[in-house]
């Protein structure tokens, strides 16, 4: 997670302190903002044995940019008729944080999520801060701005394993793309940003209240533009293949409405084995 020092008008001021129990997190910078949250770089004192150590964390704040605004430090709702909707969304946000904590404890390719808490009229959850670059930057640094097939497959198998772990628990990520995969210093890829993730019951109905917040062109399948209302792991598989295509070609795939097997085959010309090319086409 690379720090972005540009202060967002909706974000907490740099230096703000968030408290969870006895721990204090001090905001150092804004890492990014999506439709339903702001992510910060923060520091806090932790103990290694009896020695206090300053450690860095990433903290996600629930903030719906369509109906939230900030009044001082407090997050308020600009539309009084949406208060109940926001509270339901915050409850869902905290429930997802708890589920992500369970998921990250059991899979090495999912970002580690620690504690969650309420403050400033909203909610937060604390994640590890990964000092690395995203897969887009990592790919661009290689010769010709693309990866060799063996390296691309190593990465995609790890993220595929993370998705399999999610799907076995009836969750979908719904925003897999190079920007949402971070590379640890040891080369381990980590899936991040679960802002669009949804969980489903045994009948395939969503149990999360987060709204559909658009699609990432080139990585979202056709059905996601219409709106996914049932458990559809295939949407993540499409995005996974699109991410593999990006790594091999160094170019974002075309939008789902504009892409075809002929275009995919042409872009892969000589860059992948027949087996890998066929997998991407499927």
Could you give the residue numbers annotated as active site?
175
Q: Does an H or E element contain 192, and which?
A: none
List phi, psi (to 5°) of 184: -70, 165
Whole-angstrom Cα Rg for the chain: 20
Element (H, E) at 182: strand 181-183
* CB atoms closer than 10 angstroms to residue 207: 12
Secondary structure of the chain: what % helix, strand, coil (to 5)? 35, 30, 40
> Are 152 and 118 a contacting pair, CB within 8 Å?
no
The sign of the torsion formed by the CA atoms of 64, 69, 74, 77 equals negative
Closest Cα to residue 183, out of 125, 243, 252?
Answer: 243
Distance CA 265, CA 257 (A): 17
Closest to 146 (Cα-Cα) out of 274, 278, 7, 252 = 252
Phi, psi of 262 (to 5 degrees): -65, -45
Q: Give just the sign of the alpha carbon dihedral 237, 243, 247, 249.
A: positive
């Amino acid at each position: 997670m690379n720090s972005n020092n540009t202060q967002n008008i909706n974000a907490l001021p740099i230096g703000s302190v968030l408290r969870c129990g006895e721990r204090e997190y001090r905001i150092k910078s804004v890492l990014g903002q999506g439709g339903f949250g702001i992510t910060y770089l923060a520091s806090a004192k932790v103990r290694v044995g009896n020695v206090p150590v300053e450690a860095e964390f990433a903290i996600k704040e629930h903030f719906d940019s369509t109906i939230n605004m900030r009044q001082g430090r407090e997050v308020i709702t600009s539309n009084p008729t949406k208060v109940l909707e926001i509270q339901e969304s915050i409850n869902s946000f905290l429930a997802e944080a708890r589920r992500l904590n369970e998921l990250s404890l059991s899979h090495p390719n999912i970002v580690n999520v620690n504690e969650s808490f309420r403050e400033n009229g909203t909610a937060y959850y604390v994640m590890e801060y990964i000092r690395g670059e995203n897969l887009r930057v990592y790919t661009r640094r290689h010769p010709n701005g693309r990866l060799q097939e063996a390296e691309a497959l190593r990465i995609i198998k790890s993220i595929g394993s993370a998705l399999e772990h999610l799907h076995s628990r009836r969750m979908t990520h719904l925003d897999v793309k190079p920007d949402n995969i971070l590379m640890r210093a040891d080369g381990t890829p980590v899936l991040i940003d679960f802002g669009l993730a949804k969980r489903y019951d045994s009948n395939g109905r969503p149990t999360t209240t987060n709204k559909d917040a658009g699609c990432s062109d080139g990585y979202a399948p056709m059905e996601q533009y219409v709106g996914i209302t049932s458990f559809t792991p295939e949407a993540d598989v499409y995005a996974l293949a699109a991410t593999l295509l990006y790594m091999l070609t160094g170019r974002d795939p075309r939008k789902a409405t504009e892409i075809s097997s002929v275009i995919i085959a042409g872009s892969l010309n000589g860059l992948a084995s027949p087996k890998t090319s066929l997998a991407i086409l499927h």
